[in-house]
Amino acid sequence: METTLRPDIGETPLKGVRSNIVQSIRAFRVQDLQDSARALGQHFLYANLANAQSKQDVLDLLAQQFILPAHFGKNFDALYDCMTDPVHKSGPQPGFIVVLEQIPATAKFDKEAREQLLDIFRDTADYWGDRKIPFRCFYSFL
């Protein structure tokens, strides 16, 4: 009888990456992160925000690409709620790898808005960390 061993974190590109963190994607490739999520049995959430010009555009794209529920209020508080509460209530979670690619840098989505967005994901990482669930978010700017 053959047994299949589930890969541990040491066999993925995530070796040495804290289990609850928001960080620049830098040397990581999206495909490698998606493969790591699959190997670890974790949720993979990906959003390309290159076409966004404003906070509303960013929220609309996240709602679309993350397939957020219809009741999503399209504000930062609602984004946090969608990334935590309903998911937590759906049962045990294996972990998350999130990629926010090409966060815009426009007059309508300035440095303050980018920091607010990343703060939502930092708070989400803390939320899941308190529950001993890995949540890693990688981002890049346009």
| Torsion, Cα of 9, 24, 90, 126 (10° steps) | 90
Number of folded domains in the chain?
A: 1
Q: The pTM is what?
A: 0.89
Q: Are strands 20-24 and 135-141 parallel, antiparallel or unpaired?
A: parallel
Whether residue 38 lies inside any domain: the answer is yes
How much is the average pLDDT of 24-32?
94
The model's pLDDT over 1-12, given as tens digits with 9 standing for 90+, comes to 333 334 455 556
Question: Rounded CA gap, 24 and 138, in Å?
Answer: 5
User: What is residue 137's DSSP assignment?
Assistant: E
Establish if 5 belongs to a structural domain. Answer: no
9 domain residue, yes or no: no
- Picking from 29, 30, 31, 36, the residue whose alpha carbon sits closest to that of residue 14 is 36
Contact 45, 66 (CB under 8 A): yes
CATH number at residue 52: 3.30.370.10
Residue 28 lies in a domain: yes
Looking at the domain assignment, is residue 11 inside a domain?
no
10 belongs to a structural domain = no
Q: Which residue has the tokens 């890969």?
A: 7
**79 falls within a domain:** yes
Query: Rounded to an integer, what is the distance from CA 56 to the centroid of its chain?
Result: 18
Q: What is the pLDDT of residues 31-88, one digit of tens each?
A: 999 999 999 999 999 999 999 999 999 999 999 999 998 888 889 999 999 999 877 7
List the domain range (segments joined by +) for residue 86: 18-141
Q: Model confidence over 87-128: pLDDT tens digits?
A: 777 878 899 999 999 999 999 999 999 999 999 999 999 999
Residue 7 lies in a domain: no
